Structure 1
């Protein structure tokens, strides 16, 4: 190392020039921290010209906040190499490394500080940090939207029967017990399975839905357990995890479980019992911590007696059975369902339509063999095909129209005389309207005045076609 008190040679200045190429700034101080020489664009980095720094002490410059903290002072205190990020008066951030230089007697003679401007990388890092936080926020919002989508399924519980169903589901959701959902096709078993998952301690985990009736038996094992790379022709090069593996930490939902073949039932039973499995073509045992929910529209007890469903699997599934009643047995839910489904469907298609009260009243009297799914399909069809903003009886497809059999005469609890008479009146008008194409003809056939016919047709939402 050169002696700073003597004239520097060309060779030595060349050395400083080389250092200056490697680093943005170079400062050399003596053992008291007084600056002997500098190299670099100090005015840009530190806010002062380099010639004004020579002769000053680093302690003085630190006090003036030309730069802080002083790495040189740290080196003088520790007599060891030091590195720190330094803030400058001009607002820059410098990565500074200080090196102690000793003489032959081990005395500290000089401190060399090499600096590099890291302002832009630091700003970029701060920007990336902000972006990461924004991504985390958006992901959280998406998660909320996902939960809303799942929890906003039309789980309507206006009837006592459905209130009891939800009460049982709420209790089952709190513990990792196997749940078996029973009920006719379309009553809402999948919606209730999602509801249970979202109200359980596993709501943060995945909900993996497996339609047992849609997977060919030959593919069930690979779909359920996954497969290793090259396990069979057409397999993905990296292999593929199965439904059981994907459900780890969440819920595994077997829909239409009665459709499993006897051979598949054995595999599913072992998976439920052990929570262990092997990928197809694999030798490593894998485990999955999932909660099980199963559903079927068939009578499993009957299938067990007939030998078509394994009794041991049935008992494994049937820990907490929940029977969802058909829609025809919970007519109180129909009106609420119509309102809920209409909101969802109209939002889906970006329209605003309502259902005439007469139509609502009529829909509550139907048997709904397809249950909620049938009701939803009908309403979606009406929203799409009806030109008017109000859906009336004339808009109903033929299978859902009132007929001359007068089912309105049937009394049921909750149906007042006024409701029954209105339904009879409407059916009579519909029947006569097929024979009389004008209000005058209908009035003549019914023996009433034409204004009366006009008023009653308007009351019941009946439009003449002719």
Structure 2
């Protein structure tokens, strides 16, 4: 018989029957019972343990008085008595505890509410884990897609597609900004874990003293100033999903030892804790340093390296895959134009400058440059004059060498056409008169102006 099916014949109007109380004491959920006026009749031991309140503090007290004294922020029992139906709410008890409470009315034979029996389930840890997960969850829509045309990245793409379905550990190497995070995100999204968490931590951005607690979490009282409720570690948060350890080369030896133990045992133990928690996490590590060299020099544990480097993928710098520069520019140009509701386009000469540049900061620098020229250029057309000075200087230095290449003629012709058309427009002041001077059709000049991003004369 369920709680909601109890009637007057089963209960005593002066309190909770002993057999009902005995049953409630075996419940792992908290049980809270009030009478038809809202006065507390009974609290089980699970509720005491869950909240830290002693039942002697509560029994005989009206729910409204307990609310006013700060025991909880709202009362489902009073809502049930007011609305005369089953109600569920999330309730905050004291300062730290969050519980889901469901109040069920118990009626007499005339349909009047005799008492309200409330079941209480602690969701503090669950909600805290959800908040932590949201804080560390790594995913941005523009980083989900791999943008490339080069043969080098095609091979990496095919390798990533092949290994993605398996839980095998992967190490991604390459200079800063080459797209290691994008590739890690891609691998996760092509795997069976794509619906689970993808957590990223930058091992080089967190002080050594904090990295261990961030990764493994800690229990209450693990150290001075530790949070009362403890903290869930990122490895726990990534359970069933993927954990990206960026700049793993910066991880200290003691933390490396702890991580190796977790990977070997597939269990994590919080700092200051005694309980080992089973975990199922795919590890993707990333580094801009030569880990092979660090292992030989004793700066990185060899046993950990072979644990994380089952698959090793080296991503080349952008200067070594020039074919990817233009599609990446187009991708971010479209992205920022859409984001800022702008309409911009680059001249062919501008593309030429950008493709000649060495991009020491790789894709990260390219993305920043595109955002810069989109928002900082007032005209619809972006020309070399709008580019940052380092790009213009390097491109102009390389222009002679570039003109000897097979694809240099087109750019040189367009550059010359642009100069001639601009001079004609400045001299004659109108498109029609400039076209007559250049001995071309009016519509032909308009098309060339659009192609070369030449503004109409004011």
Q: Using structure 1 for the length normalisation, give the TM-score.
A: 0.59
Give 1:243's aligned residue.
234
Match of 2:366 in 1: 375
Q: Paired residue for 1:191, among 159, 182, 190?
A: 182
* Structure 1 gap segments, 5+ residues each: 1-113, 118-142, 434-438, 441-449
1:320 corresponds, among 277, 297, 311, to 311
Partner of 2:151: 160
Deviations 1:3-34 (A, max 9, x none): xxxxxxxxxxxxxxxxxxxxxxxxxxxxxxxx
Q: Confirm whether residue 341 of structure 1 aligns to residue 332 of structure 2.
A: yes
Whether 2:259 is the aligned partner of 1:258: answer no
Calculate the aligned-residue CA RMSD, in Å: 3.8
- Tell me, in whole angstroms, the C-alpha distance in 1 between the residues paired with 2:197 and 2:326: 33
Secondary structure of the equivalent of 1:187? coil
1:418 aligns with 2:424: no
- Superposition deviation, residue 209 in structure 1: 0.5
Q: How far 1:347 moved relative to its partner? A: 2.5
For residues 273 and 401 of structure 1, the distance between their equivalents in structure 2, rounded to whole angstroms, comes to 52
Match of 1:364 in 2: 355
Q: 1:390 to 1:420 in 2, by over 3 A?
A: closer
CA separation of 1:295 and 1:389: change in aligned 2, threshold 3 A? same
Residue 291 (structure 1) aligns with? 282
Question: How far off is 1:415 after superposition?
Answer: 3.9
Q: Secondary structure at the match of 1:295?
A: strand
In 1, the alpha carbon distance for the partners of 2:395 and 2:311 equals 45
Answer whether contact 1:150 1:195 (CA < 8 A) is retained. no
Query: Equivalent residue of 1:364, what SS?
Result: helix
**What residue number does 2:60 align with?**
none
Is 2:331 aligned against 1:329? no
Question: What whole-Å deviation, never above 9, does each CA across 1:425-451 have from its counterpart, x for those lacking one?
Answer: 699x8xxx9xxxxx89xxxxxxxxx98
Determine if the alignment matches structure 1 residue 214 to structure 2 residue 205: yes
Taking structure 1 as reference, are residues 401 and 267 closer, same or farther at Cα in structure 2, changes over 3 Å only?
same
Q: Specify the alignment match of 2:295 in structure 1.
A: 304
Distance 1:353 1:251 in 2: 38
What's the CA shift for 1:115? Answer: 8.2
Task: Tell me which of 161, 185, 208 is aligned to 1:170.
Answer: 161
Cα displacement string for residues 360-399 of structure 1 (whole angstroms, at most 9, x for unaligned residues): 1221111101110000000111112111122111111211
User: Cα gap change, 1:412/1:404 in structure 2, threshold over 3 Å: closer, same or farther?
Assistant: closer
**Whole-angstrom distance in 1 between the partners of 2:223 and 2:282:** 30
Q: Residue in 1 aligned with 2:20?
A: none
**Which of 174, 197, 205 is equivalent to 2:196?**
205
Q: Shift in Å at residue 234 of structure 1?
A: 2.1
Residue 394 of structure 1 corresponds to 385
8 Å Cα contact 1:394/1:462 also seen in 2: no
Identify the match of residue 224 of structure 2 among 233, 236, 240: 233
**Partner of residue 224, structure 1:** 215
Q: Aligned partners of 1:159 and 1:387: how far apart in 2?
A: 33
1:231–1:280 CA contact under 8 A, matched in 2: yes
| SS of match in other structure, 1:401 | helix
> Quick one: distance in 1 between partners of 2:210 and 2:204?
12
Look up the SS of the partner of 1:249 in the other structure.
Answer: coil
> Equivalents in 1 of 2:163, 2:221: separation in Å?
41
Q: Which residue of 1 aligns with 2:273?
A: 282
Alpha-carbon distance in 2 for matches of 1:154, 1:412: 34
- Are the equivalent residues in 2 in contact too, given 1:225–1:280 (CA < 8 A)? yes
* C-alpha distance after superposition, 1:232-265 (max 9, x if no partner): 2222221110011101010011001111122222
Bigger drift between 257-266 and 168-177 goes to 257-266
Could you tell me how far 1:305 is from its partner in structure 2? Answer: 1.6
What secondary structure is seen at the aligned counterpart in 2 of 1:200? coil
Task: Find the aligned partners of 2:403 and 2:169 in 1 and give their Cα distance.
Answer: 38
Task: Select between 368-377 and 318-327 the one with higher mean Cα deviation.
Answer: 318-327
Count residues in correspondence: 312
* Structure 2: gaps of 5 or more residues: 1-108, 113-133, 428-436, 440-444
Q: Displacement of 1:148 after TM fit?
A: 8.6
Aligned to 2:356, what secondary structure does the other structure show? coil
Query: Which residue number corresponds to residue 125 of structure 1?
Result: none
Partner Cα distance (2:199, 2:395) in 1 = 48
Tell me, yes or no, if the aligned pair for 1:392 and 1:462 is still in contact at 8 Å.
no
